[in-house]
Amino acid sequence: MIWLHRIFGLNRDGAAHKHTAWLLNRESFQAELERERMRVDRNDGVFSLMVITTPQQNAAAIERLAEVLRGRIRRTDTAGWFDHERVGVILPDTPSQGAYKLASDLSAYYQESARPLFDIYTHPADEHISGGRDEAPAAKDEALVETVSDAAMAGSDRRASSLRTRAVARSVRIDRQSVPRPALFSRPLESLLIAPQPIWKRAIDIFGASLGLVLLAPLLAVVALLIKRSSPGPIIFAQKREGIGGRIFTMYKFRTMCTDAEALKAQLRKFSEQDGPAFKLTNDPRVTPLGRFLRKTCIDELPQLWNVLRGDMSLVGPRPLPVDESRNCRPWQRRRLAVKPGLTCIWQVEGGIDVTFDEWMRMDLQYAASRHPVGDARLLWKTFTKVLMRRASR
């Protein structure tokens, strides 16, 4: 879209036209967004973010949008450039219902062919507030028609993919000709605020995971055979975990428990030695004799090298929690989802079951804010030495 900037004189980080000059530039808007998120996390409030894409990416369309926005948003709302192509509006103290209503009102100012696309994000997400679906208010001659988009994409590629069916990312388009019907709850904000993965980190992940799978292949085969002979059940334990941006993926481990372990978890929950939503039990009766050895040496985690190679995980990053545990985290704790989960992390080598859940989450946030190749190397080395000394996390 650089050629558009040059032809129409658009400066997405600070437009100078009289209709768009009042919009915050990208850097200032992102700072305001982070400030509002911190305020809501501290006060247990709620806010929504509306990200608007115009069908025609030209100066006239952007000026029209800015003019409409200025006449419709409140003094407490903040509008600015979300990125180089989209305008964002921060709506303090506004759940998704209010954001949907504003989208409906804004849509009424446009002809159908020129109608913008509105992506609505709510923090905390509605499913974390009420546990149910959030219905948008029905308006006469207007409705919310679902389309689906990839929250990780941007620019023209993102617009081209807006009709693809994806499970974790959703946007809404207002269609005044449709019959009114309820809309699904809006996306959580963490699905949008994802920290870009450095090239060096992905390169290390691919190299390390590939080398590990090749060198450890004989060990993996022996362990698989031992598990098969020692107890009935599958060799690999697959579980849904919540990863970067709240995306759900399947994490793989060598099975270390009896086959009905998940069913017994609810009965053992009251004995958990970890506070918060996480479940940790040192002498877990569900663990098999072989499983205890695999856990003590962390060999049970080695199949996750495949998750790293696939891109679901990284060698270093916050440990992924099961979906139910992750979704029961407090809003500020879910900031850890801004980066990919990993095989090891600060908590894994310096915390473990001896620290509180809040301390664990702060360790994850500390890592997310300070990723560096030297730091990753240090954590990998500490993990390796702890395994050799059989002092791996319990």
Q: Give the model confidence (pLDDT) of 326-364 as tens digits.
A: 999 999 999 999 999 999 999 988 877 788 999 999 999
- Alpha carbon of residue 178 to chain centroid: 32
pLDDT tier at 81, thresholds 50, 70, 90: very high
**Paired strand residues for 50:** 89, 120
Chosen CATH of 2-191 out of 1.10.3210.10, 3.30.70.270, 3.40.50.970, 2.30.30.230: 3.30.70.270
Question: Any idea where the domains of the chain sit in the sequence?
Answer: 2-191, 199-388
Tens-place pLDDT, residues 18-35: 678 899 999 999 999 999
pLDDT tier at 384, thresholds 50, 70, 90: confident
pLDDT of residue 237: 95
Lowest mean pLDDT among 45-49, 72-76, 142-146, 291-295: 142-146
Looking at per-residue pLDDT, the higher value among 5 and 283 belongs to: 283
Looking at per-residue pLDDT, the higher value among 221 and 355 belongs to: 221
> What is the spatial distance between Cα 95 and Cα 370, in angstroms, rounded to a whole number?
32
Calculate the average pLDDT of the chain. Answer: 80
Buried b (16+ CB within 10 A) or exposed e, 371-390: beeeebeebbeebeebbeee
Q: Is the peptide bond before 285 cis (omega within 30 degrees of 0)?
A: no
Under DSSP, is residue 11 helix (H, G, I), strand (E, B) or coil? coil
pLDDT at 375 over 90: yes
CA neighbours closer than 13 Å in the CB half-sphere of residue 304: 24
Question: Are the beta carbons of 58 and 8 closer than 8 angstroms?
Answer: yes
Q: Which distant-in-sequence residues (6+ apart) come within 8 Å of 315 by Cβ?
A: 204, 205, 208, 209, 308, 342, 343, 344, 376, 380
Q: What is the pTM of this model?
A: 0.75
pLDDT of residue 13: 44
Q: In the structure encoding, which two tokens stand for residue 51, read together?
A: 């990200």
pLDDT of residue 47: 94
Give the mean model confidence (pLDDT) for residues 51-78. 90
pLDDT at 6 over 70: no
Tens-place pLDDT, residues 166-197: 222 333 444 444 423 333 345 678 888 888 88
